């Protein structure tokens, strides 16, 4: 693995999951792997779980970690080629990224989409410029369209919680949920990309009209506007809001109530409830579900460490 920007960089997903689960059993077994190597974690947007879990993972491998809150503490970056920088931006990515490449052996970058310009966001203009100019392996800590460390974690968590029934494949439902703010499609895109690449689940997406995701990520997974039908016999329900891809970045009013409750979940196979967090309680998911025995969100967030450690281990193994 040279970079880790999406499921396409994961190589053999099954092996990566296996590695993460082995690491979970013995987190400090490879403390010399990252000795003498430095990881930079650069945040252009807020984070709690990604920042801390990746830092812990790197330290478990003996790496030195430096976190740089670029949006708060750094010069504002310019990403446009040929820009006349007489406005608010102070440093071009072409100048900054090669320097980061000198300071670090691996770099992680968090950069959210604008939700204004779909073409630029879906071309992953920002993270690819870091890749182009920094010259060292880049790990996505969530970019404009995907969140691969989250999705690897999600698949690991599903594998750990597979139901003991006779199904050959668990039924996994990704359901849209309400929110008060327009959110990126990243987590939903990424979850769809990883679930379809993993190929070990019956995967269904439920969302209101106007909220279909880019088919590039859903890879032929069935999409329905009928949440209740989708939930039927589900083993895992992944809850997430996203803004419209079609009317890019917009919140479109929806007719039905998409907030889950216990009654709606009664048709599932006692489904486990997942969410990437942070979650807006009683807007996106109700207290009664978040605080129920079916919720595996804390376990899921805990697994972020093992996903990050598996990815870092793979990249470190490839460094000279
Ligand atoms: N799920 C997730 O990425 O959490 P943070 O935004 O806190 O990193």
Ligand 1 atom with the shortest distance to the CA of 53: 8
Q: What is the model's pLDDT at position 164?
A: 78
Phi-psi region of 94 (alpha: psi -120 to 50; beta: other; left: phi over 0): alpha
Q: Are 220 and 195 in contact (CB under 8 A)?
A: no
| Whole-prediction pTM | 0.97
pLDDT tens for residues 214-248?
999 999 999 999 999 999 999 999 999 999 999 99
Distance CA 217, CA 289 (A): 28
pLDDT tens for residues 100-112?
999 999 999 999 9
**Percentage of the chain lying above the pLDDT 90 cut:** 97
Q: Is 48 in the pocket of ligand 1 (CB under 6 A)?
A: yes
Q: Is 150 in the pocket of ligand 1 (CB under 6 A)?
A: yes
Here the tokens at position 55 are: 């830092």
Which residue of 44, 46, 142 sits with most ligand 1 atoms within 8 Å of its CB, as the best mutation to test the pocket?
A: 142
pLDDT tens for residues 268-292?
999 999 999 999 999 999 999 999 9
Q: Are 44 and 144 in contact (CB under 8 A)?
A: no
pLDDT at position 32 over 90: yes
Report the pLDDT averaged over residues 81-89: 97
Q: Is 47 in the pocket of ligand 1 (CB under 6 A)?
A: yes
**Cis link prior to 72 (omega < 30° from 0)?**
no
Report the pLDDT averaged over residues 75-94: 96
Q: Side-chain half-sphere of 66: how many Cα atoms within 13 Å?
A: 11
pLDDT at position 35 over 90: yes
- pLDDT bin (cut points 50, 70, 90) of residue 128 is very high
Give the mean pLDDT of the chain: 97
Residue nearest to atom 6 of ligand 1 (CA): 47
Residue nearest to atom 4 of ligand 1 (CA): 49
Distance CA 159, CA 68 (A): 33
Q: Is 186 in the pocket of ligand 1 (CB under 6 A)?
A: no
Q: What is the model's pLDDT at position 232?
A: 98
pLDDT at position 165 over 80: no
Q: What is the model's pLDDT at position 256?
A: 83
Distance CA 104, CA 112 (A): 22
Cα dihedral across residues 242, 246, 251, 256: positive or negative: negative
Q: Which one, of 118, 303, 253, 276, lies nearest residue 191 by Cα?
A: 276
Could you tell me the distance, in angstroms and rounded to a whole number, from the CA of residue 304 to the centre of ligand 1? 9
DSSP-derived letter for residue 62 is T
* Strand residue runs (E) in the chain: 38-43, 64-68, 77-78, 91-92, 106-110, 138-140, 171-176, 202-206, 223-224, 236-240, 272-274
Q: Is 153 in the pocket of ligand 1 (CB under 6 A)?
A: no
Could you tell me the distance, in angstroms and rounded to a whole number, from the CA of residue 18 to the centre of ligand 1? 23
- pLDDT bin (cut points 50, 70, 90) of residue 118 is very high
Report the pLDDT averaged over residues 177-181: 96
Q: Is 276 in the pocket of ligand 1 (CB under 6 A)?
A: yes
Q: Are 1 and 13 in contact (CB under 8 A)?
A: no
Report the b/e string of 215-250 with b at 16+ CB within 10 A.
eebbeebebebebeebbeebbbbbbbbbbbbeebbe
Q: Is 50 in the pocket of ligand 1 (CB under 6 A)?
A: yes
pLDDT at position 163 over 90: no
């Amino acid at each position: 693995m040279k970079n880790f920007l999406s499921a396409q960089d994961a190589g053999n997903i099954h092996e990566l999951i296996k590695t993460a689960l082995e690491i979970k059993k013995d987190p400090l077994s490879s403390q010399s792997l990252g000795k003498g190597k430095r990881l930079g974690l650069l945040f252009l947007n807020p984070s709690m779980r990604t920042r801390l879990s990746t830092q812990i993972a790197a330290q478990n491998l003996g790496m030195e970690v430096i976190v740089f809150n670029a949006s708060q503490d750094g010069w504002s970056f310019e990403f446009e080629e040929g820009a006349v920088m007489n406005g608010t931006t102070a440093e071009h990515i072409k100048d900054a990224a090669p320097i980061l490449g000198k300071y670090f052996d691996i770099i992680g970058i968090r950069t959210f989409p604008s939700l204004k310009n779909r073409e630029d966001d879906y071309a992953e203009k920002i993270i690819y410029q870091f890749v182009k100019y920094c010259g060292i392996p880049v790990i996505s800590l969530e970019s404009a369209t995907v969140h691969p460390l989250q999705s690897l974690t999600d698949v690991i968590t599903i594998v750990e919680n597979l139901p003991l029934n006779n199904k050959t494949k668990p039924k996994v439902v990704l359901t849209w949920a309400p929110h008060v703010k327009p959110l990126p499609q990243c987590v939903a895109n990424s979850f769809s990309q990883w679930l379809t690449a993993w190929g070990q689940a019956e995967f269904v997406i439920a969302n209101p009209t106007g909220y279909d995701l880019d088919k590039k990520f859903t890879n032929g997974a069935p999409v329905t506007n009928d949440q209740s039908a989708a939930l039927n016999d589900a083993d895992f329900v992944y809850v997430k809001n996203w803004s419209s891809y079609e009317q890019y970045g917009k919140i479109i009013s929806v007719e039905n109530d998409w907030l889950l409750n216990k009654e709606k979940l009664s048709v599932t196979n006692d489904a486990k409830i997942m969410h990437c967090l942070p979650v807006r309680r009683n807007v996106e998911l109700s207290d009664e579900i978040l605080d129920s025995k079916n919720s595996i969100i804390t376990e899921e967030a805990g697994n972020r460490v093992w996903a990050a450690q598996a990815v870092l281990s793979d990249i470190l193994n490839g460094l000279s």
